[in-house]
A = this chain, B = another copy of it.
Amino acid sequence: MSGVKKSMPMVYKNVGRNGLRVSQLGLGTWVTFGGQVTDDVAEELVTIAYENGINLFDTAEVYAAGKAEITLGKILKKKTWKRSSYIVSTKLYWGGKAETEKGLSRKHIIEGLRSSLERLQLDYVDIVFANKPDSSVPMEEIVRAFTQVINDNHCFYWGTSRWSPMEIMEAYSIARQFNLIPPICEQTEYNLFQREKVETFLPDIFKKIGLGTMTWSPLACGLLTGKYEDGVPLHSRAAIKGYGWLKEKVLNEEGRKQQDKLRELAILASKLDCTLAQLAIAWCLRNETVNCVLLGASCVEQLYENINSLHVVSKLTPLVMADIDHILGNKPNIRIFRKNEIIQQQQIQR
């Protein structure tokens, strides 16, 4: 398990119905870069990722208050990889303490992206995301500002993160109304315990406007590694200061129910000859709506383990997927607003 099998190539996908080709696995930097891991480990992680075909590195101005971007930037500068061979994405919303350094005003989108580029030591990122919606700014201002940073060549595309389907469609409408550039991608949480948005809403938006989907937390902040099976270990994320919410989540009643399901899933994983974490990641990859699953790793072994999930995907036959759904019991229903359709059709056919 201490390396990647060469025989299994990375799969690349278009981000939605847009031209950008992204590896199915991406490397995230949340919590880890500039924080949990040393710069040396970070460099190792980026190198392993790149060498195994991962072409997307995702960060945000808010991660470790800018230090995640600085770390990633240093590594990319040190490496001699061609800029055109990889994709960098960052996210804007919380850029500093001042009133004008937050949110999605034109001022912050333009200034925030410049600061990110300085920290990253890059001329441009590939995708800049709105890290969350900002209802205090008119959508026209937001879409105009993202269009401008694209026209300024400070990024090639823009996307949304944690936006509701309605907010995304409003951005799209405004872009169409004023001939501006619409977002290409929504970045959102997706894992065995958090399924609804990716499985019910995003496929619909993809169908309508070609929006891509990039997902984070495939392991639900570590819950799906099974490491919390017997409580909260000392060096786990749930033990970090400021992550009390995660600890709480592990230990409450619903958390204990989830542990039961995880035990069942672990048995299934071992039957498939993979770890629980690999099963969880492969399960994300199997969803056709998802263009890229962002991995977070705090050590080299973990990254190898996660990348090897690629080998598990083909094992997830329809039967296995049905088993997983049965264990989880949380398959979201596609909303049905169209009852009585059948009778009406009958009426006319009589």
Closest chain B residue to A170, Cβ basis:
B208
List B contacts of A107 (CB < 8 A): 19-20, 84, 87, 126, 156-157
Stretch at the interface among A159-167, A264-272, A294-302: A159-167
In the complex, what distance in Å separates the CA atom of A14 from the CA atom of B103? 12
Query: Are A111 and B138 neighbours in the complex by a CB distance under 8 Å?
Result: no
Query: Are B179 and A169 neighbours in the complex by a CB distance under 8 Å?
Result: no
In the complex, what distance in Å separates the CA atom of A350 from the CA atom of B335? 41
In the complex, what distance in Å separates the CA atom of A16 from the CA atom of B197? 27
Query: Are B19 and A103 neighbours in the complex by a CB distance under 8 Å?
Result: yes
Query: Are B172 and A337 neighbours in the complex by a CB distance under 8 Å?
Result: no
Query: Are A86 and B106 neighbours in the complex by a CB distance under 8 Å?
Result: no
Query: Are A18 and B176 neighbours in the complex by a CB distance under 8 Å?
Result: no
In the complex, what distance in Å separates the CA atom of A98 from the CA atom of B350? 13
Given A84-B111, A98-B82, A153-B110, answer yes or no on A19-B343 (Cβ-Cβ < 8 Å): no
Query: Are B166 and A19 neighbours in the complex by a CB distance under 8 Å?
Result: no
List B contacts of A142 (CB < 8 A): 19
In the complex, what distance in Å separates the CA atom of A201 from the CA atom of B174? 20
Closest chain B residue to A106, Cβ basis:
B156
Question: Is A189 on the interface with B (CB-CB < 8 A)?
Answer: yes
Shortest Cβ distance from residue A50 to the other chain B in the assembled complex, whole angstroms: 10
In the complex, what distance in Å separates the CA atom of A162 from the CA atom of B334? 14
List B contacts of A12 (CB < 8 A): 99
In the complex, what distance in Å separates the CA atom of A196 from the CA atom of B334? 13
The 8 Å CB contact of A349, one of B97, B136, B153, is B97
Write the A191-203 contact mask toward B (1 if CB under 8 angstroms, else 0): 0000011000100
Q: How many copies does the complex hold?
A: 4
Question: Is A7 on the interface with B (CB-CB < 8 A)?
Answer: no
Interface residues on A, range: 35 or more
Question: Is A344 on the interface with B (CB-CB < 8 A)?
Answer: yes
Query: Are B65 and A85 neighbours in the complex by a CB distance under 8 Å?
Result: no
List B contacts of A176 (CB < 8 A): 173-174, 176-177
The 4 tightest CB contacts between A and B, nearest first, are A19-B105, A19-B137, A169-B169, A85-B98
Q: Write the residues of chain A forming the contact surface with B, with a CB cutoff of 8 angstroms.
A: 12, 14, 17-21, 23, 55, 62-65, 82-87, 93-108, 110-112, 115, 126, 131-132, 134, 136-138, 141-142, 144, 148, 150-153, 156-157, 162-167, 169-170, 172-174, 176-179, 181, 188-189, 196-197, 201, 204-205, 208-210, 242-243, 245, 335, 337-350
In the complex, 23 of the A-B residue pairs with CB atoms within 8 angstroms, ordered by the A residue number, are A18-B141, A19-B134, A19-B137, A19-B141, A21-B102, A63-B347, A84-B100, A85-B98, A94-B347, A106-B156, A107-B126, A132-B341, A148-B150, A152-B153, A166-B169, A166-B204, A169-B173, A170-B208, A173-B176, A189-B339, A189-B340, A196-B335, A242-B343
A sample of 13 more A-B contacts (CB under 8 A), given A84-B115, A94-B347, A176-B176, is A18-B137, A19-B142, A63-B347, A64-B347, A65-B348, A84-B107, A94-B348, A97-B348, A138-B210, A166-B201, A169-B170, A170-B208, A173-B209
